[in-house]
Amino acid sequence: MFKVFHYRNRCIGCNACVEIAFERWRMSKKDGKAVLLGAKEKKGIYQISLSEDELTQNQQAAAACPVNVIQILQ
């Protein structure tokens, strides 16, 4: 298991994460920022525990983020 953290308030809505890992990310029609599907919000940071089979795609999404608002910890 690993944890994905999304610092959504700093998201610029570039859509890179959605293009790379569509199963886990969507764009909000409300504010144009990315949404980490299934995540819980704690103090403005969205987080979720994911299994190893989603690791590669989410690592690619984190690497593609131009403002580095996605972090993955194992």
CA distance 30 to 49: 25
pLDDT tens, position by position, 4-24: 999 999 999 999 999 999 999
Q: Which two tokens stand for residue 28?
A: 């909000």
Do residues 74 and 4 lie in contact, with contact meaning Cβ atoms separated by under 8 Å? no
- What's the CATH class of domain 2-73? alpha beta
| End-to-end CA, the chain | 7
pLDDT tens, position by position, 9-67: 999 999 999 999 999 999 999 999 999 999 999 999 999 999 999 999 999 999 999 99
Do residues 69 and 20 lie in contact, with contact meaning Cβ atoms separated by under 8 Å? no
Structural domain spans, the chain: 2-73
Distance of CA 19 to the CA centre of its chain: 12
Residue 43 is predicted with a pLDDT of 95
Note if the pTM is more than 0.75: yes
